[in-house]
Amino acid sequence: MGSGSGTKKKHWAEKARMWAWYDEVARRTDWSDHRLDKEFARKPGVSLTPDLRARVFGAIKGKNARQPTGNKDWRSASELAAAVGAHPSFAGTEELYHANVWSFIQERFVKAEDLERRTDVLLERYALVRIDPLTSDDFSTTVMKLGLPALYKRSLALSLHNLPHLDQFSLLWNLYLATEQAIDWHIRKFLESQLDRWLDNFFFERFAARGFHLEFYTAAIDAMMKARIDPMATTCSVQYLGALSSRIVLPSKWSS
């Protein structure tokens, strides 16, 4: 929704992204905002002069988390994140800036094929597999003993154990959205509770000191509850994702 001037209102997650990134950069060293500006704010080849002083990092730190815009001499937010992340003292900060949590919680609808694709990317990256335990000789007996929800929880815990923290969110979010037409609603409720805990911890760790933990956390939960598979998706696509959602996820080394 735009403002009266015709500019698009910035999503709260963009403010959160900039603050989280700035705070992580500031945590790494005792550099002042001015030193960070001198080191990173300018595009290559732009000289710093008395009348051309950047106040980029101070603006990001401020209450509006203002991104660097409107000056051709300064790096954009993504360029700034890349430049800072390339410095040995700030390695890894770019990953936080580009973390899926910021974009996923801005999604209202996700195409079914995109949801399946990005889930498959994570599974392949971390050597995870999806198995239908009801048709697997190795797991059918366990399902009879424990029930599908209990087996699902145990296998997912194994799968998440070695994933980086930010990718844990990505996998949980994708699996949760795919359960919109789940065969077993217990699985959807379990994934919902796991996401709730992850989001609560994440926003507490990143924003409690700023006094924004509850505001951002509740907004993220609201986004999670409203996120849906694109209504233009075919019934077959949605039902296929629903069927996939009942398959357990576990490390490939445990699948045989």
Decide which of 71, 97, 123 is a domain's last residue.
97
167 & 221 share domain: yes
Residues 127 and 58 in one domain: no
Structural domain range at position 67: 12-97
- Residues 210, 237 within the same domain: yes
pLDDT of 33 over the 70 cut:
yes
Q: Are residues 82 and 170 in the same domain?
A: no
Is 7 within a domain? no
pLDDT, tens digit, 9 for 90 and up, residues 160-185: 998 999 999 999 999 999 888 766 78
Alpha carbon dihedral 36, 38, 43, 49, in 10-degree steps, equals: 150
64 part of a folded domain? yes
Parallel/antiparallel/unpaired status of strands 228-229 and 109-110: parallel
Predicted structure pTM score: 0.87
179-218 pLDDT, tens digit per residue, is 887 667 888 999 999 999 999 999 999 999 999 999 999 9
- Looking at the structure, do residues 123 and 221 belong to the same domain, yes or no? yes
Domain endpoint, select from 97, 131, 164: 97
44 and 160 share one domain: no
The b-or-e profile of 233-247 (16+ CB within 10 A means b, else e) is: beeebbebbbebbbb
